[in-house]
Amino acid sequence: MNKLKIAIQKSGRLSDDSVKLFKECGIKFEVGKSKLKSTSRNFPADFLFLRDDDIPGYVEDGVADLGIVGKNVLVEYGNDVESIKELGFSKCRLSLAVPREVEYPGVEYFQGKSIATSYPNLLGQYLKGKGVDAHVHQISGSVEIAPGIGLAEGVCDIVSTGGTLLSNGLKEVETIFKSEAVLIANNKLSDEKKELLEKLLFRINAVQTAQNHKYVLLNAPNDKLQQIIELMPGMRSPTITPLAQEGWSSIHSVIKESDFWENIETLRKWGAEGILVIPIEKMIS
């Protein structure tokens, strides 16, 4: 039987988020610090636990059929793979940073200076677009130490919260690239594996759509039902149930979480009360 070989990062936040996604898709497999491969018990897939930087190459070569990587890695290495879907998690940014005591005038500060980075291609493209001629000093890992030891006047590195920069006496001054997790695929998947990929995407879409929506229940006076229904249209239409108290009804609907918070004050003004907001595990249109 055909199986998908899916490469994910073996440790770190991207690994945790990727495993969480597959678990929420109902795919069961074992995860452990020393594991390099795991077979799903209920979905035709093998999971390979690899270094993030290696995943695009393994997918390009067909060692893995699919992979989850940071978009920054995918663009930096430029492997010939198909980008299937941006996944919306493990968001971060690639930023320029300088010592905190530096008075930073703008990107022209880096003209003629040295910048330490693990992302020379992305940085080079950015500097070229800005017309800045700087020396890009490529190093792997712990680039934050470079200014402190006199290796470079600035760094270009991945930033999530900025805590690592601060702890090393640096400040973020320019964002050059925004990244998130991306599902990639080999360009030559068989028809059978393409079919399995579609089944996997169906599950992923159901999980992610549910994460952005909430099931809302509330009680409302009947004379405001139409206005409230227009704010809470639901997947097809809301469920309206009369309450024992005359002149009142219960409204059940599914709406985007962002829409709920935008409209909550209006709902309350129209007399809505007893409002319950319930997470949705899966949502299939």
Question: Mean per-residue pLDDT for 71-87?
Answer: 95
Q: Are 172 and 95 in contact (CB under 8 A)?
A: yes
Across the beta sheet with 248-256, what order do the strands follow?
Answer: 239-242, 248-256, 213-221, 273-279
Tell the residue number behind the tokens 């897939």, with chain if given: 45
- 4-90+180-210 matches 92-179 in fold: yes
Question: Mean per-residue pLDDT for 210-226?
Answer: 93
Residue 276: pLDDT band with limits 50, 70, 90: very high
Question: For the chain, what are the domain ranges?
Answer: 4-90+180-210, 92-179, 213-279
pLDDT at res. 96? 96
Which one is predicted more confidently, 150 or 4? 4
- Gap between the Cα atoms of 222 and 101, Å rounded: 63
Please determine, for residue 103, whether its predicted confidence score (pLDDT) is greater than 90: yes
Tell the residue number behind the tokens 């007893």, with chain if given: 274
Q: Are 69 and 6 in contact (CB under 8 A)?
A: no
How many Cβ atoms sit within 10 Å of the Cβ of residue 70?
A: 23
What is the overall mean pLDDT for the chain?
A: 93
Question: Mean per-residue pLDDT for 3-26?
Answer: 94
Q: Furthest-apart CA pair in the chain: how many Å? A: 77
Please determine, for residue 62, whether its predicted confidence score (pLDDT) is greater than 90: yes
CA atoms within 13 A on the CB side of 280: 20
Please report, rounded to a whole number, the percentage of residues in the chain having pLDDT higher than 90.
79
What CATH number has the domain spanning 4-90+180-210? 3.40.190.10
SS3 259: helix
Domain 92-179 superfamily per CATH: Periplasmic binding protein-like II (3.40.190.10)
Residue 34: pLDDT band with limits 50, 70, 90: confident
* Class of domain 213-279 (CATH, top level): alpha beta
Residue 1: pLDDT band with limits 50, 70, 90: low
Tell the residue number behind the tokens 């996997």, with chain if given: 200
- The number of residues in the chain equals 285
